[in-house]
Structure 1
Amino acid sequence: MARPFEKLPAGAKNHLEAMAANGLLSESAAATALGMPLDQFRRVITEHKPSKEIWENALAVERDQLLAALYARAMEGDTKANQTLLAVRHGLTEKQPKGSASERVSVTFNLPPALDPAEYLKAVQVDQERLTDGN
């Protein structure tokens, strides 16, 4: 039985970044390309800090590629691409309420404390006497 991987194999950085640049990056594809079982690949990128950094850098290459493609579409007039970039990069969405947080309406209800059972019974009896005396 082969020894389990403790880190990504030599050349993994260049290989994973090339996969990311070509839109082929996924955990399963990366593990296969590096000759590693998927469970070991996942363990290595979780537990071995240099391997985790290599994986995160490859994901950053992929993210940059996707953002560049989205930006190109947005500049060509694609409204959905514009909305997505505004939401992703700048936190703006159409779902936010208009106006600042200080202009929002706030309603507060202050309820009286609960009565103990004896006080409640007395209050109910007084109200009942008022109702019957008024008729």
Structure 2
Amino acid sequence: MKGIARSLGVSLETLNEWMERHPELRAAMDEGREAEHKVLHNALYKQAEKGNIVAGIFLLKTRHGYREGDQTGVANKVSVTFNVPGALTPEQFRKGRVIEHEPSTDD
């Protein structure tokens, strides 16, 4: 959109205002964008058919939601919580004593 505005010699804001005031302009822009999309998609698809792996992967990712690597957003999640005792003094550690709960002086 910025490039089109620049080509017309107007700001992006002016172009957006024109499209708001003239629905036929918005429709023409949308139609042009869709035509470009079809041309680019078809060219990419033809490359994938010829064995271009990168083109194939790109199509899988953009058109079919394929994700590689970290899939934290869709994978099963497991949450594990470990409750560990507080720090022991060296003497307590040597004796093998684990103190379940020591009342604080504030209690």
TM over 0.5: yes
TM-score, normalised to structure 2, is 0.59
Quick check: 1:104 aligned with 2:77?
A: yes
Aligned mate of 1:86, from 60, 66, 87: 60
Q: Which runs of 5 or more residues in structure 2 are unaligned? A: 83-102
Identity of matched residues, %: 27
User: RMSD value over aligned CA atoms?
Assistant: 3.1
Partners of 2:39 and 2:32 in 1: CA distance: 11
Partner of residue 86, structure 2: none
TM-score, normalised to structure 1, is 0.49
Partner of residue 22, structure 2: 48
Partner of residue 27, structure 1: 4
Partner of residue 124, structure 1: 104
Partners of 2:44 and 2:25 in 1: CA distance: 29
Higher relative contact order (CA 8 A, sep 6+): 1
Whichever residue aligns with residue 37 of structure 2, its letter is R
Runs of 4+ aligned residues of structure 1 deviating over 2 Å after TM superposition are 37-43, 45-50, 95-98, 106-109
